[in-house]
Structure 1
Amino acid sequence: MKMKTISAGVMALLLMTSCVSKKVYTDLESKYADLKKENRALSDENKGITKDRNELDLKSKDLQAQLDKLKAERDKLSKDYASTKSGLDKMQSSYSDLEKTSGETNASISKKNRELLAELEAKEKALAAEQDRLNKIKAELQERSQRVDELEGMIAAQEAGLKKLKETLSKALNGFTGKGLTVEQKNGKVYVSMENKLLFGSGSWTVGTEGKKAVVEVAKVLAANPDIAVLIEGHTDNAAYKGSNEISDNWDLSTKRATAIVHILKENKGVDPKNLTAAGRSEFAPIAGNDTAEGKSKNRRIEIILTPKLDELSKMLNEI
């Protein structure tokens, strides 16, 4: 606020001194307008990023729903197979009884014999058709079961990979325990949460020395895991932003803070920038109440969300 007052005073003084000072003031006005335009562009980009994140979450839920549906189809096929096999066994028994009866029939009752033979022929055809159907069901059941086993194996491997990733991150960030940093695995993702007291000064988006050390450690882990999508979210409390004119509100502040973390992460050449996404959530995703200083402190944070890519799972489900 102090800088804003000084700047206003300097501009007023310049306007009173000469026509050259008025030109400087005009240039400053132009730069201010450009900054406001950039701010609006950042806000629009932030909305697009939030939309992409929501689509990714929906895609993950859709994949799980497809897997559940596939399991249900497999179970139904298994029941159908058992029922058809039971019917086939009964038909084979009936066929044997008819064949025995036909063999014991006296030559004097040839009419009855011909009827039995005709019935036997019909039973043979029905038996062959049912056997073909049973074979097809059995083959389809085996194929579906194999696909389900493969999908379950991939999901289990992915869960194991996430667990190992969490353990690696926890070990790498062990030195920051008690400094507002947590590592958690939930919903098929790993969350690294850092409170702003570790990263930023009040109203600032410049990462401090200690906070940068923590982000650099995260970057090392990401470099060793190139198949992980990374979403960096900036969060604030509900107090209105009262900083410089360079940004206008908590949306801008949270976005700039997320972007600052991205810049540090991509300094590690092993981190693929295509895997990184920055998003500002402002005050609208709190994890604690804003009615206490402790709650506000927890809400002012950066969340680094690590998600395994689902391309291979999607491809397998589409092939079924």
Structure 2
Amino acid sequence: MRAYLLSSALLMMVILGTGCVSNKKFAQLQSSYNNLANQNRELDGKYQTARRDLSGATARVQSLEEQIAAQRTSLAALQEALDRCLKSTSEGNVNISKLVDEINASNRYIQHLVNTKNKSDSLNLVLTNNLTRSLSREEMRDVDVQVLKGVVYISLSDNMLYKSGSYEILPRASETLSKIAKIIKDYREYDVLIEGNTDNVPISQKNIRNNWDLSALRASSVVQSLQNDHGVDPKRMTAGGRGEYNPIASNDTEAGKARNRRTQIIITPKLDQFMELIEKAPENTDSVPGDSLQPAAPVQR
């Protein structure tokens, strides 16, 4: 803008100073004036652009300064926390080497528990394989064997074990129970839970009040058969009934009801062995208590 006013003033001075000028001279002056005016507009545009850039740069600088201030505040807080931590460590006379040793000991114990569990799982798989190999194809239709979370579940259908609505064991179930008893006796360090389950159809027997009674009586019948007919130590066994309240299938279909009418033989390592592992770490992690879960004698096929 200043250049534009200056050029205008110069032009007026030239005209006034020389009086009348020739047309050629006037055209030259007019051309010069126009060029200067164009340059002035161009310079003014650059000036405005520079002002906007400067304003944006100023805002960015202010933002960066605020971020730097925030980072400095955060750094100061972290330094203060570190100083407190170092002071606390010094005042408490913490033995870092001892802490590392304790952490390593804990890690070794955790690995020991994992190894023990793996051994237990392996034994359960051996137990399962031995049992399934001993069962005939016909028996396998009524017997389901699974290992879930380190526990062996042997599920027996009610068709194989009892008459409908009864808890008396059928003679044909004796051979299958004898094979299961052989496995139980070989693994004498395992506990055995016999669990009766029913569908949701109400029972109509004079001496049986409901499905709770029926499921408990069926479990008790299996326990007594394993004890009296097949020599399983009764101290290792527990009988329980869950009635219709532990279904594995829908009771809306006959097939689902048939699956729910079952007696489960649950074989698991003794609870006190696991509690001992949890409550007290072994002095020598090279010795694995899981070895005590080995069967008393090789399983005969």
User: TM-score, normalised on structure 2?
Assistant: 0.59
Aligned position for 1:313: 274
Deviation per residue, 1:142-201 (Å, 9 max, x gap): 322321222121111111111111111211223444532111111221111111111111
Tell me if structure 2 keeps the 8 A contact 1:220–1:268.
no
Q: Could you say if the C-alpha distance between residues 145 and 258 of structure 1 is closer, same or farther in structure 2, counting changes exceeding 3 Å? A: same
- In the alignment, does 2:156 pair up with 1:194? yes
Matched, 1:294 2:255: yes
Query: Where does structure 1 lack aligned partners over 5 or more consecutive residues?
Result: 1-127
Residue identity in the other structure for 1:281 = R
The equivalent of 1:250 in structure 2 is 211
Alignment gaps of 5+ in structure 2: 1-89, 282-301
Deviations 1:63-110 (Å, cap 9, x if unpaired)? xxxxxxxxxxxxxxxxxxxxxxxxxxxxxxxxxxxxxxxxxxxxxxxx
Counterpart position of 1:143: 105
Relative to structure 1, is the Cα distance of residues 305 and 133 closer, same or farther in structure 2, using a 3 angstrom cutoff? same
Q: Residue 138 of structure 1: CA displacement?
A: 3.1
Q: Which residue of 2 aligns with 1:159?
A: 121
Q: 1:176 to 1:318 in 2, by over 3 A?
A: same
Distance 1:175 1:190 in 2: 20
Q: Residues 113-140 of structure 1, C-alpha deviation per residue, up to 9 Å, x if partnerless?
A: xxxxxxxxxxxxxxx9999823212322
Equivalents in 2 of 1:220, 1:271: separation in Å?
A: 8
Match for residue 275 of structure 1 among 230, 236, 261: 236
CA spacing shift, 1:312–1:250, aligned 2, 3 Å = closer
- With over 3 angstroms needed to count, the CA separation of the structure-2 counterparts of 1:228 and 1:268, relative to structure 1, is farther
Structure 2 CA distance, aligned partners of 1:272 and 1:129? 60
Aligned-residue offset at 1:261:
0.3
1:203-234 deviations in Å (ceiling 9; x for gaps): 11111122121111111110000111111111
Q: Hey, what's the Cα distance between the residues in 2 that align with 1:182 and 1:191?
A: 8
Using the TM superposition, give the Cα deviation of residue 271 of structure 1 relative to its aligned residue in structure 2, in angstroms.
2.4
Q: Whose helix fraction is larger, Structure 1's or Structure 2's?
A: 1
Amino acid at match of 1:266: Q
What residue is the counterpart of 1:225 in the other structure?
187
Matches within 5 A, 1:16-31: none
1:316–1:286 distance in 2 versus 1, CA, 3 Å: closer
Query: Secondary structure in 1 aligned to 2:164?
Result: coil
| Aligned equivalent of 1:213 | 175
Contact kept, 8 Å, 1:234 with 1:303, in 2: the verdict is yes
Percent identity over the alignment is 33
Q: Could you state the TM-score of these two structures normalised by the residue count of structure 1?
A: 0.55
Whole-angstrom CA distance in 2 between matches of 1:140 and 1:178: 50
Sort the Cα spacing of 1:200 and 1:267 in 2 relative to 1 into closer, same or farther, 3 A.
same
User: Does the Cα contact within 8 Å between 2:178 and 2:230 map onto a contact in 1?
Assistant: no
Q: Secondary structure at the match of 1:288?
A: coil
Q: Following superposition of structure 1 onto structure 2, how do residues 41-56 of structure 1 map, counting pairs within 5 Å?
A: none
RMSD: 2.4
Work out whether residues 194 and 223 of structure 2, in 8 Å CA contact, stay in contact via their aligned partners in 1.
yes
CA separation of 1:146/1:187 partners in 2, compared to 1, >3 Å: closer, same or farther? closer
